[in-house]
Every structure is written in structure tokens, then in C-alpha cells.
Amino acid sequence: MRMLLNNCVLMQRGFFMYVCLCQAVTDRDIQQAAKNGATSLKDLRRQLGVTVDCGRCARFASKCLKTANESFAVSDQAA
């Protein structure tokens, strides 16, 4: 779990990484999907194809989506 948290922090520091190798989805793609209203893994599956093939990315994709949505909530509160 610690590795998952650290990798999601990369997204906030300007780096990117692949979350779903099968569909070539990056953490930036997930962040953009969150900006477009994605709030669940089902939304990511519909928008990006995450978990459609092997499903190994599900936990990390969910964590990255949660991190992205939390960062948007914090920035909305600051504005």
C-alpha cells in the first residue's frame, strides 16, 4: 500500500507513470478523467478502458482517482 501512495504523489509533482499497461493509461489520464467528472472505477473503465483486460491496475487506478479528486476538492476550498 505504501508503494501505491508514493506513486500517486508522483502525479502531483509533475512526473507521470503508467497505471494500466494494457490500455496505456497514465496517472495524468486519470487526473484528467477526474477533472471531467470521473468519481469511480466504473467511470474510469467507461472513459479510459481501465481494468477491461487483466484488471491488475484496479487498486492503483482507484487510489490515483481518489488522490486526484481529493486534490480538486482542496483546490476548490482554497478558491
Only one residue has cell 477526474, namely: 34
Q: What is the pLDDT of residue 16?
A: 85
* CATH number for the segment(s) 2-78: 1.10.10.1100
Q: Would you say residue 10 has pLDDT above 90? A: no
What digits encode the pLDDT tens for the residues 56-76?
999 999 999 999 999 877 766
- Provide the whole-model pTM: 0.77
Estimate to the nearest angstrom the gap between the alpha carbon of 14 and the chain centroid. 14
What does the domain layout of the chain look like in residue ranges? Answer: 2-78
What digits encode the pLDDT tens for the residues 19-40?
999 999 999 999 999 999 999 9
